[in-house]
Amino acid sequence: MLSYRHAFHAGNHADVLKHTIIVQLLRYFGQKETPYMVVDTHAGAGVYALDGNFASKNAEYESGIGRLWHRKDMPPALEEFVQMVRDMNPSGKMRYYPGSPYCAEKIMREQDRLRLFELHSSESKILHENFKKLDAHAAEQGVRSNVRGKRVIVERGDGFLGLKALLPPPSRRALVVIDPPYEDKRDYQRVKETMQDALIRFPTGTYAIWYPVLQRIEARQFQDRMKRLETKSWLNVTLTVSTPSPDGFGLRSSGMFIVNPSWTLEPMLREMMPYLVKMLGTDHGAGFTLETSESDSLKKKSDRAEKADS
C-alpha cells in the first residue's frame, strides 16, 4: 500500500509536535564535537508546498503551524522550530513547511551524516529534487555539495530494511526517526520488530518514533508494546487537540515515543505541552500526556504497594 502522501497533512498538530522534538534532540547531539548520524526511515518529500494541491485540499496546517505563525509568547523550543519555518518563508507568507529531513539538514554540522529512505516513488523523486535544490543553493554560497557527497544520501527503498545495514554507526552516535504512515496496520508490528532488532545492534542509539492515537486495536496496543522494549530509558508524549469523533475518523491525537531520550527533553516538554494544548486545542477533549520509564516504574511500584496493603 503506497497511496499515502504526507503533503495532505503537512504542518498539522502532529507535525508540530514531531518536528519540534526532533530539532531539540539534534540540538542536544550537537553539544559534543563527535559526529552523529541521522537516519530517517520514512523521509517523505523533505519539504512541502502549503499552497500546493495536496496541502491546500484540507489545509491542516491552518490548525497547526498556522496558529503559531504570529505568536510572540511561545516557549523557547517551540519558538526555535517556528522560526525555522519562518526562515524558509522570507516573504512572511506560509508557503513551505519542512519535513524531518529538512529540519535535520539545517541543524547538522559538516561532520554529521544524514541517511534518508523513502519507498513511495513520487515522494522519493521529490525528495531527491528538493535536496538537489539545497545543493544548488549551497553551491551559490560557495559551500561544498551536500547531496552528492557523503554528508546526505537519499535512497529509494524500505527504511525498515535499510536501517539494519547502518547500525551501529561508526561514531556510535545516532538519531533514528521512524515515522511510517500506518495506513497498513502491519506497520505497527514492523515498528516493534525493527526496534527490537535495532536495540540489539545499537542499544545506546536515540530513536524517535511517531505514531497516531486512533481507535483501532493496533494503535491502542502500540504504546504498551513500545514500553516493553528492552531499553534503559524511554519517554512517551501525546498531544490531543479535540475529542475523537464518533465514527473514529480524523487524526485528533498523536504521540512520540523516544528511546534513550536526552535528559533535557522531559523538562522542555513539560514547559511546552500546556502551551500547545492551549494554542492548538479546539474543545474540552484537548490535552496531553507525558510519561517516562522512571515515572512508569514508580507508578508500578506504587500500584504493587497498594495491592499489598489491601
Taking the mean position of all CA atoms in its chain, how far away is CA 237? Answer: 12
Query: What are 310's three cell numbers?
Result: 489491601
pLDDT digits (tens), the chain, 310 positions? 455 567 778 999 999 999 999 999 999 999 999 999 999 999 999 999 998 766 777 789 999 999 999 999 999 999 999 999 999 999 999 999 999 999 999 999 999 999 999 998 888 899 999 888 876 666 665 555 554 457 999 999 999 999 999 999 999 999 999 999 998 889 999 999 999 999 999 999 999 999 999 888 888 899 999 999 999 999 999 999 999 877 666 789 999 999 999 999 999 999 999 999 999 999 999 999 999 998 776 566 555 555 555 5
- How many Cα atoms sit within 13 Å of 233 on the Cβ side? 13
**Helical packing angle, 121-140 and 100-107, nearest 10°:** 30
pTM metric for this prediction: 0.91
- Taking the C-alpha atoms of residue 43 and residue 102, their distance in angstroms, rounded to an integer, is 10
Q: Which of 51, 179, 184, 247 is catalytic?
A: 179
Domain topology for 6-309? Rossmann fold (3.40.50)
DSSP state of 245: P
Question: Domain locations in the chain?
Answer: 6-309
> Catalytic annotation on 184?
no
Query: What are 174's three cell numbers?
Result: 545516532
- Taking the C-alpha atoms of residue 147 and residue 152, their distance in angstroms, rounded to an integer, is 5
- Taking the C-alpha atoms of residue 284 and residue 5, their distance in angstroms, rounded to an integer, is 30
